[in-house]
Structure formats: structure tokens, C-alpha cells
Structure 1
Amino acid sequence: MAPSLPEDLPWVEKYRPNKIKDLVYQQEAAQLLHSCLTCGNLPHCLFYGPPGTGKTSAALAFCKELFPPEIYRDRVLELNASDERGIKVVREKIKRFAQGSVSSAKFEGYLCPPFKIIILDEADAITPDAQTALRRTMEQFSRITRFFLLCNYVTRVIDPLASRCAKFRFRPLPIELQMDRLKYIVGQEGISISEELLRRLTRACNGDLRRAIMALESAHRLSRGNNITEEDIDSVSWRVPDEIIARIDSTCRKISSLGENTLHFSELRNMAMDFINNGYPVSEIMYQLCDALISASHLNKLQKSVIMIRFARAEKMLVDGSDELLVLLDIFGVLFQVYNEPENVEKLISLTRN
């Protein structure tokens, strides 16, 4: 039986969509799931995209509309693959559930098709060997079991597994759609916050609605029921102060103009260590620095292109687990190189290839 929702649930669970029609912006996936609710058939599905865009909500909402609470736990298995990622889990827990028989009981108002559903969240964290074993399980029990594979990085899912699924990309939610949802929550909870601060919050969350809702709840707790302030929003959304971003750009420009490169690298290193020691997230520094440099008048289009390509590689290094200090120094080095030889087009282009 699906659990009832207590009043003290975190807001991300309390306001999670329970019906396919409540999903927004992911039209292709919603259309498929809606048609499956009508015809009673479902392919294996692979939902991929940034966090907080509705992948888990879509899968859970579909299951809640497909099966009644009385048999929900018998028909739906939800696993977080980042915690249970080894081949042992696939061979035992998943295979045991997948091969179990399905009852023919019918319930009024529910389609109850003759198959079960396994939801694997963060499927890109499953080891390659376990993914190979999972492929075999999908093939062997596809008649009575369907899979939802949910992940952030589809390239980390092996091709034989991805090819057996209908793939749907979940895109980052536009700010206005996030604003609409946050306004609904604000109205339900009776929170006092201006529209300007809500917009500031959504911009800081980069299309991640889950993160925005969690930050809104944290800001509400931090304000202790009073009006939410700009300081509250910046504290809970990990936003780096604007003066820090301005300091990075101005320091790199100043050092590049001095000429004695090796003598002033220590200033960049000390600045990077200062940011790390103060707990500023490198990913947020990078995102905000990108926003600031895109509109910068002292950079031409080629320089901006080089910076953005190198910043994308730095983000990939962060995702792969690289040391934050080294990534931050790499970012500073890119800015230094771009500012140091703005006229050397060939060198700027080579920066994107190395």
C-alpha cells in the first residue's frame, strides 16, 4: 500500500505531482505515459537530464495512476541505483522481483495491466558489469516487468541497455514555470516573500526545481516565519556574493597586465585557496562567472567562446570527482591566458583543442 503523506513531509515530497497531467514542460514523456495509461502497454523507458527536472516524479506519478494503493508495493519496486549499484543487487533483489508472478486482480478506476514496474533512480551510477546483468534481466522478464531507468548522464549507460529503452530527455525548467510552482507553494504555506526574491532564487538554482523548493523551505525556516530577505535567499541557495565574482575577473585582468607571470601566480593560488576555505562551491562560482563574462564588454566573441568551452571541460572534471582547488586554478588559468594574449587568435583556438 502506498504510504499516506504526513503534514510534516519535506516540501519536495509534499508538492510532488501525483498525476501525469500535473507534469509541466516535458511534453514528450508526458504524452507517452498518458497514452500508456489508456492502452495498458509500456516500453522500457530511459529518462535522462539534469537533476530536479521531473524524472522521478513522472515515473512515480505514472505508477500511482496505474496501480491502486492495495497492490502498489507488489507491483512497483523503487531503487536508488547509486546506493544499490553492484551486480549482486541486480542478480538478487531486482531479478527476484522481476521474475515474480503477477496477479490478475482488477480494481475499479485503475487499469492494472499484467506487468510490474522497477524504477532505477540514478541508473548511471550502476557499475558496467551490473548494467550488463541488468540487460539480460530486462530481456528475460520483459513480458511481466517493465523498467524505468532514470539518470543525469545518458552516456554512462551502456549502449545495449539504452537501446532497449524509449529515451526521453528532460530539459531544465524555464524560470517562469519554476516561478509558477513556487508561487503555488508560497500561497499554500502562507509565506511572505517578494516576486523579485523568488526570481533570484530560481535563477540561482539553474533550472533545478527540486533544489529551488528545498531552498525556499530552508529560507522559510531560516527566517523563522518572518519575511524572507535577500540574505536568507543567498544563504540557502549557495549563491556566491557578486563581489567575489567581480574580484576573480579583476584579479586575472590585473595580473595579466603586469607581465611577470610566474611571480604573480601565487596571488591566483591564494585567492583560490581563500574561496575553498570559505566554503564557496566551485560549480556555483563557475556558473555565476559564466553569466558575468557572457555580457562582459571587455571580451570579444572568440574569447568568450574559448572561455565557455574550457569552463564546460572544468565542469566535467568536477562531475568526475576532480579536486575543487585544482579545477578552480584551471578556471583562473583560462582567464589569465585569454587576457594575456587577446590578439593571438591561433593560441586562443588551440586552448579549446588541448
Structure 2
Amino acid sequence: MANIPKNLPWVEKYRPSKLDELVSHKDIIDTIKRYMELGQIPHLLFYGPAGTGKTSTILALAKQMYTPNEMKSMVLELNASDDRGIAVVREEIQTFTSSRTLHKKNIKLIILDEADAMTNDAQNALRRIIEKYTETARFCFICNYLQKIIPAVQSRCTRFRFGPLTNEQMLPRLQIVIDKENVQIDKPAQKAILTLSNGDMRRALNILQSTHMASGNVTVDAVYDCVGHPSKTDMAIIINLLLNENFTVACQKLSALKTLKGYALADIITELHRYVYKIDFTRDIRIHLLKKLADIEYRLSNGATEKLQISSVVAAFQHARAVPPTEAVA
């Protein structure tokens, strides 16, 4: 830790350097360790949501396989920020895999992070390179969406799915960072960070660091203010408006609250979805509200105006209040 720059983001500062330091996916880690012990590492394909340890796993593997000096000549890492069209595949990757080194280790490692951003032509060009240089190189593809990797590349790799982390897996790692950085934080704030991160360890550490730098003491309110996500207090106000006020008043007050706090309507809908299950609605009304909220979220994702969709949210709850339960799903 002594050589790590002080201004480094906590996500990088506390990135695991060994496979044993990874906090989850024990079955995957044990399998990769076994491959390394036997010296029979296959081509790898890691896929799953962001912040679940895909890049950390392959970098930890590389650091255990190679010394710092060997890393410079034996590992090639390309990210989405790099140009990875067919020209790069034919020139840079092929040059790297075909060149000889003075190191005793003859297996090179090519890491293609966010491989789902590669064009189909570039992925097709890799097929022959993967097979041609199997004796001297191993490829690791990392992506969020498996369907964006062509079947020909998938069939040449051993696939591992990295699922979202559980709160129980994330909390010990979060506590290590809290202790080492001397962060003043209460238990409810820790729970809020874990809830907002949705199984994304990277997001959890970024929220923790941002809130700590902005507020000093990390509290629940500070976390929600920093992230810009509707707090429980504001959601209670919104629910009260939707269930008790008339259409005009509810639209005006909801729009004013959203503007004042800078909330995104999509985040409000995400929270409303949770409240639909908590409030004592009948089955038919619950189905009706979920369908309406899903439609509104879909329209927002396609560029609909938030001002109009606020009216749609209020209208959905007004309809649920007015229509008898048997007619709510019509």
C-alpha cells in the first residue's frame, strides 16, 4: 500500500491483486486456480453485470502468473476506449501474439475488456488468430452482454457468468475500505450504499468515496443527496401525493419536488415499483399499476418528455383509486 498514490480512486486503490482477495464467485475462482495450477488455462469469456469482479479476476490472475516486468511484454489489455476495429485485430493483436519474448513463460495473455463493443468484423477476424496462436497465447473476453459476442468466439472459450454480488458478500470488503480510510459512517448509511449499488461493488465504493469527500460524515441523507436518488422521506411524500391528492395538485407538487431535488423520473418509478408491493393493494390494482409503470419506463427510455410522463404516473394511481378492483386490469 505504501507505493500507491494517495489520489488514486478507491476502486483502483483497493482492487484485489490476488485471486484469494476476491470476495465472491468462489466456484469460478476455484476453477481458475485449478487451471493455473495445472498450467492448462483455456481461452476465457467472462460476462455479467458491471462491477461484479470480471476485470479484477483476470488482472489478479495475470499478476499471479507474471512478475511486474513480465506483465509489460506478456499481457496486452485493450479496453472500449481503444480502437478495436478489424485493423487493430489484424495488426496490433496479431503482432503481439506472434512476436517472441526472452521470458521463459511462453503463454501470453490478451485481455479484451468490454468485448461486446467490438464490431462483428473484428470478432470474426479473431477466430483464426485464436486458433493459430493457441500454443503461445490465451484470450480473455470480458463483456456485459453475452449475446453481443458472436457464436464462433463463444464456442472457442470457456464461459463464466459473474452474477450481481449479495450484500453479505459486499459488506466485508466495504468495511475494509471504511476502516483503512477512517470513514465516519453509520449502519443505516452502509445499508443505503449497498441497496443503491444493486450488487455492483464498483458503484458501492464510488458512492462511499463521493459521499465521504462531499460531506465528511457519511449519513443516509448524505448518501441519497450525493447519488441524486429519491430518499425514503421524499418517497413517503410522493406516495402520499399519489394516494390522497387530486390529479392537478398531485401533478404540480410532484413536478415541483422533482425539480427542486433534481430527481430523474426513472429513479422515482424504480422506487414506486417497490412501494407497489408494500402498500396494501388488491392483486388486480397491483397488476394494473405495474403494467402502467412499465409502460411509462419504456417510454422514458425511448426519449419521452418527463413532464408528460409525470402526468401518466399520477393518472395511473388516480385510475387505481377510482376503478373497482375487478375492472383495474381491463
Q: Give the TM-score category using the shorter length.
A: 0.7 to 0.9
Q: 8 Å contact 2:11–2:206 — kept in the other structure? A: yes
1:134-183 Cα shifts (integer Å, max 9, x gaps)? 33332332222211111111122222222221111111111122111111
- Counterpart of 2:228 (choices 228, 231, 238) is 238
1:280-325 Cα shifts (integer Å, max 9, x gaps)? 245533432222222221142783498279749947984xxx3264
1:185-210 Cα shifts (integer Å, max 9, x gaps)? 11111121112211111111111111
**Aligned positions of 1:56-135 closer than 5 A:** 56-81=55-80, 83-105=82-104, 112=105, 114-135=106-127
- Counterpart of 1:204 (choices 193, 196, 200) is 196
The CA deviation at 1:246 is: 4.5
The CA deviation at 1:332 is: 3.1
Matched residue type, 1:32: T
Q: Partner of 2:46: helix, strand, or coil?
A: strand
After superposition, the Cα gap between the structure-2 partners of 1:337 and 1:79, relative to the gap in structure 1 and judged at 3 Å, is farther
Match of 1:140 in 2: 132
Matched, 1:297 2:305: no
User: TM-score, normalised to structure 2's length?
Assistant: 0.83
The CA deviation at 1:78 is: 1.3
- Counterpart of 1:184 (choices 176, 184, 192) is 176
Q: Partner of 2:183: helix, strand, or coil?
A: coil
After superposition, the Cα gap between the structure-2 partners of 1:187 and 1:131, relative to the gap in structure 1 and judged at 3 Å, is same
- 2:315 and 2:64 map into 1 onto residues whose CA distance is 51
- 1:53 and 1:309 map into 2 onto residues whose CA distance is 31
Match of 1:352 in 2: none
Match of 2:186 in 1: 194
Match of 1:285 in 2: 268
- 2:267 and 2:259 map into 1 onto residues whose CA distance is 12
Match of 1:213 in 2: 205
Q: Partner of 1:133: helix, strand, or coil?
A: helix
Match of 2:166 in 1: 174
Instruction: Give percent identity, aligned residues only.
Output: 33
The CA deviation at 1:57 is: 0.5
1:79-128 Cα shifts (integer Å, max 9, x gaps)? 112543433332332232222234452xxxxxx4x211111111112222
Q: 8 Å contact 2:228–2:262 — kept in the other structure? A: no
Q: 8 Å contact 1:19–1:61 — kept in the other structure? A: yes
Unaligned ranges ≥5, structure 2: none
Matched residue type, 1:280: Y
- 1:328 and 1:149 map into 2 onto residues whose CA distance is 42
After superposition, the Cα gap between the structure-2 partners of 1:249 and 1:232, relative to the gap in structure 1 and judged at 3 Å, is closer
Match of 1:34 in 2: 33
After superposition, the Cα gap between the structure-2 partners of 1:194 and 1:140, relative to the gap in structure 1 and judged at 3 Å, is same
After superposition, the Cα gap between the structure-2 partners of 1:279 and 1:328, relative to the gap in structure 1 and judged at 3 Å, is farther
Q: Partner of 1:43: helix, strand, or coil?
A: coil
Count the aligned residue pairs: 325
Q: 8 Å contact 1:293–1:304 — kept in the other structure? A: no
Q: 8 Å contact 1:17–1:23 — kept in the other structure? A: yes
After superposition, the Cα gap between the structure-2 partners of 1:235 and 1:346, relative to the gap in structure 1 and judged at 3 Å, is closer
Match of 1:19 in 2: 18
Cα RMSD, aligned residues only = 3.5
After superposition, the Cα gap between the structure-2 partners of 1:103 and 1:345, relative to the gap in structure 1 and judged at 3 Å, is farther
Matched residue type, 1:132: N
Q: Partner of 1:36: helix, strand, or coil?
A: helix
After superposition, the Cα gap between the structure-2 partners of 1:307 and 1:130, relative to the gap in structure 1 and judged at 3 Å, is farther
- 2:117 and 2:280 map into 1 onto residues whose CA distance is 41
- 1:268 and 1:92 map into 2 onto residues whose CA distance is 58
